[in-house]
Chain A
Amino acid sequence: MSMLDIFQVSGSAISAQSQRLNTVASNLANADTVAGPDGQAYRARQVVFQTLPMAGAGSAGVQVSTVREDSSPGRRVHDPGHPQADGEGYVTYSNVNSVEEMVNMISASRSYQNNVEVMNTAKSLLLKTLQMGQ
């Protein structure tokens, strides 16, 4: 039955969206980080989505192909009294853009909800199909 494929398609999408949500969470958590374990400021991470072809014409799921690091320069704040300040008195914070992350978070949560709704609809239709002829 081809309707059962919907669970794979939407399942791959909600797993990809939850990974995106995870990335947003770690970005927001590290928005004010000065230095990570390696001594460098935290760099924002973004997931890259890719279409995952599945059996059956027109059926396509989603997968996260890579998680890439944002290479833009970090936020520099003049704070000579800070222990991490450089020679000129500047502290380099992470390059996370909080507003962008919030937008990403809302978008991911909406997409997640949409896919859950798709699965619920497909499930109820399939259950009704199972009772056919009774």
Chain B
Amino acid sequence: MLNRLTDTLNFQAQALSLRAERQRILASNIANADTPGYQAREMDFAAALREATGHANPAARPAPAQAAPRAGHLPLQPGEAGPTALRYATPSQTSLDDNSVDMDRERASFADNAVHYEATLRFLNGSVKTLTSAITGQ
């Protein structure tokens, strides 16, 4: 029963933690803008979110990629987006030192991700406020 009450929060929480992870990846790209040979990483956010929230809707989820966990193995928890969700970003221009960070794109993505993070945060706050007002009945 309590699960149902907080199920709406779960989706937003997953989205928030994925946004935080993407923010970290973009920060790493920006940090390595001058490192020779660094290859920029990028997250497929839609795929990662689908993977993280797939447990809520098992019918829509394709067959699991990994084998069933053996005895003694810990099953992967939803929300633990592994490196599979990470891709290499393709640069729009090649550089002499083999660095594939496109600073303009990274900065734009970073600002975009920050706004999305804040939006998710507000959705969460709104849900919490709605629940609280429903509980107190005022």
Chain A residues in contact with chain B, CB under 8 A?
Answer: 1-3, 5-6, 9-10, 12-13, 17, 20, 48-51, 54, 56-62, 107-108, 111, 114-115, 118, 121-122, 125, 128-129, 132-133
Contacts and interface: CB of A to CB of B under 8 A. Distances in A.
A57 B33 contact: no
A50 B35 contact: yes
Contact of B28 (A9, A125, A132): A9
Given A2-B24, A58-B24, A59-B24, A51 B35 contact: yes
Q: How large is the interface on B (under 10, 10 to 19, 20 to 34, 35 or more residues)?
A: 35 or more
Contacts of A121: 110-111, 114
13 contacts: A10-B30, A49-B36, A51-B32, A51-B38, A56-B21, A58-B24, A58-B43, A107-B34, A108-B34, A118-B31, A121-B111, A122-B27, A132-B121
A41 B96 CA distance: 30
A49 B35 contact: yes
Interface of B: 16-17, 20-21, 23-28, 30-38, 41, 43, 81-83, 86, 103, 107, 110-111, 114, 117-118, 121, 124-125, 128
Contact of B118 (A50, A60, A128): A128
Given A9-B28, A20-B34, A58-B21, 5 more contacts: A6-B27, A10-B30, A59-B24, A125-B114, A125-B117
A115 B26 CA distance: 11
A62 B31 contact: yes
Contacts of A61: 28, 31
